[in-house]
Structure 1
Amino acid sequence: MKIFKKCAKCVINEIQWKNFGFEHSNPEEFVKSKWQKGAKSLPYLLFRWILAIFFVGLFAVCMSLQFFGGKMFIYLTNWGLTLCVVTNVIAALIVTQWYFNIGNMPGEIVNKSFESKTPRLLKFYWLVHCITLHLALVVTTMYWAFIYGKQKKENRYPAISFTTHTFNSIFMVADFIVVGFPVRILHSFYTMMFPIFYCFCTVIYYHLGGLDECGNHFIYPILDWTKPIIGMTTFGGVFILYCICTILTFAGYHIKSFLHKKLQSFLKTHSSDLV
């Protein structure tokens, strides 16, 4: 019962008007790993650039092989891939600025920590990170559960398809485990605006006579607007998935924080024993 009471209290404390926004009392958490000891970490810097280079390279390969006269961007997978690029490049740049004391950003973060005001770039990073993480999980789940093997066209690049529908989530979950900033339940309202916007775009695309690269009148078989019930059912399913992702990431953040405290306590106890 104590666990449920603590969970309920945690959720109640989380649902406050201020948590709709992106102010954070400790902006340093956006440029530091949850698990690093000092103010700066070379392994974390390298981790950030490995992810950024991977997603930029994957995006470049997709553009060169699957652009299809611009039709590449009718797919939610590629919207998600684009966000992965944006999120991880921003993360790599701000951690690099922090590590090498480039520009005014490091000083801004330290000063803002006392003023409880977060620099705009970090607010934007927090927003896109939240959207990207949830979208990656939804794309991977929807593809492997409902789309894989059901497309009425040949999969010409199976290796790329596997990578864009699997490693997007693997790397974003790894990133989620490593980063230090919190998950806000109320930020899910922003993440859920993304599928609404995409759904709206697919409806417009269909009514304007848009086709995929194979001439099909639908983008995905489960989002066929000649059968509105199927389309709306898919849309509803995506919303349910977003709700599940919100719960999982919120719980995951608190589990991560709990383990971090336990680890810190363990290291502190054993270091004092050695002294």
Structure 2
Amino acid sequence: MSCCHVSCEDLGLSTKENDTFTKGQCPFCCNRLTYVIYRIVVAFSYIVFLILYLVRFMQEIGFRLFIYVTSWSVIVFSIYNVIAMLNSIIFTRSNTEEEDSSKENAMTRDRAISSNGPGTIGRQVNERIFNQSNAFQRMVVKRRIQYKMSTNKKTQWLLFNISCNTSFIISTVYWTSVYVLNLYDKPNTSFDFVDIIHITVIPSVLSLIELVLFATPVHFVHFHYTWWFGLLYVFFNVVYWLTGGTNEHGEHYIYDLTDYDEDFLTAIISVLCLLIAVVISQASMWTIYCLRMLVSHQKPIVCQDNTESVEINVPIYENLGFESPYATVM
């Protein structure tokens, strides 16, 4: 695949190296132990915050807490970090066991070779045949590589795209509308301010750290996953409005911009702007990723060739004294 070509397979979740989801981009700045510790700290921190956040607001506004996109975003971000933590621990443990097993198998193989001699008669005969220079013709063919990823790493990659995009968009919209345009009230208490920081600031900062320091790949075309997430929320928003649902203030809409009764056109424009914002956010993530790969002297995932060259020996049957099975019967 060239850098200017995107196939249908790129819309899915498949990559060449599965370990890119469980390590840093550069070992000298983020080794395996540092990565695992980071994952554990962030995952447990946000699980504790999420529990406190849900308990506090469930007591104040009940299940209306779940009608807001900020609640959806922080829940997705927390789940993503838990899955990333589990994957990093599982991969580190399995990788260590695999290295120990490889060393043990190598020692066993060496002992077997030293005790059994240089080889059997059959092996010597094969070597004599295959070493004939005129017996085989060497050819190079290309084949497409079929990459396989585990479900847990696909889930991590999926949630990575959604959590990064939603974090960036929510941070931009909130801080612009509250502190620049003054459309909404600022937090009144220290508890409210702490909640705002944990929902609209820290996720964006941590997502930016992952984009810069960690090896998780980014596909520009993966913006469609966040689109589906956004459209799911829009569908919920419309159904909630049609069924007469209200926000915490008793108003028949969740957000001012989604007041379908008063200004249906503005609500539709807001949804379209949301979809455009997702594309811009994914493009920004992809740009940061490409710069990271450039600094690391590696190719971005979109520029990596997903085919491999394989050398095969095509037998020349006439020189081996056999009749070719491909000969045309007259």
TM normalised by structure 1 equals 0.81
SS of the residue aligned with 2:228? helix
1:130 CA drift (Å) = 0.7
SS of the residue aligned with 2:217? coil
Asked if 2 retains the 8 angstrom alpha-carbon contact of 1:48 and 1:88, the reply is yes
Of residues 227, 240, 243 in structure 2, which corresponds to 1:208?
A: 243
Asked if 1 retains the 8 angstrom alpha-carbon contact of 2:43 and 2:85, the reply is yes
Q: Which has the larger radius of gyration?
A: 2
Q: Deviations over 1:240-261 (max 9, x none)?
A: 2111111111111110011122
One-letter amino acid matched to 2:22: V
Q: What is the aligned length? A: 246
- Residues 1:17 and 2:31 are matched in the alignment: no
One-letter amino acid matched to 1:79: W
Q: Is the strand fraction higher in 1 or 2?
A: 2
1:49 CA drift (Å) = 1.3
One-letter amino acid matched to 1:234: S
Question: In the alignment, what sits opposite 1:234?
Answer: 270
One-letter amino acid matched to 2:75: T
1:54 CA drift (Å) = 2.2
Cα distance change, pair 104–237 in 1 and its aligned pair in 2 (3 A): farther
Asked if 1 retains the 8 angstrom alpha-carbon contact of 2:76 and 2:163, the reply is yes
- Residues 1:172 and 2:207 are matched in the alignment: yes
Of residues 224, 228, 246 in structure 1, which corresponds to 2:259?
A: 224
Question: In the alignment, what sits opposite 2:163?
Answer: 132
Asked if 1 retains the 8 angstrom alpha-carbon contact of 2:165 and 2:281, the reply is yes
Q: Structure 1 residue runs of 4+, over 4 Å off? A: 37-40, 102-107, 152-156
Q: Is the helix fraction higher in 1 or 2?
A: 1
Q: Deviations over 1:10-55 (max 9, x none)?
A: 3x13x21211111211101111111225996111111111221222
1:104 CA drift (Å) = 9.5
Question: In the alignment, what sits opposite 1:265?
Answer: none
Structure 1 unaligned regions, length at least 5: 1-8, 108-113, 263-275
Bigger RCO of structures 1 and 2 (CA < 8 A, at least 6 apart): 2
SS of the residue aligned with 2:291? helix
Partners of 1:151 and 1:142 in 2: CA distance = 11
Q: Deviations over 1:90-146 (max 9, x none)?
A: 000110112233999999xxxxxx973111111111111111111111111111223
Asked if 1 retains the 8 angstrom alpha-carbon contact of 2:24 and 2:30, the reply is no
Question: In the alignment, what sits opposite 2:20?
Answer: 29
Cα distance change, pair 142–27 in 1 and its aligned pair in 2 (3 A): same
Question: In the alignment, what sits opposite 1:76?
Answer: 69
SS of the residue aligned with 1:101? helix
Asked if 2 retains the 8 angstrom alpha-carbon contact of 1:151 and 1:221, the reply is no
Partners of 1:104 and 1:225 in 2: CA distance = 58
Greater CA drift, 37-46 or 243-252 = 37-46
- Residues 1:45 and 2:36 are matched in the alignment: yes
**Considering only aligned residues, what root-mean-square deviation do their CA atoms show, in Å?**
2.8
Greater CA drift, 56-65 or 98-107 = 98-107
Question: In the alignment, what sits opposite 2:282?
Answer: 246
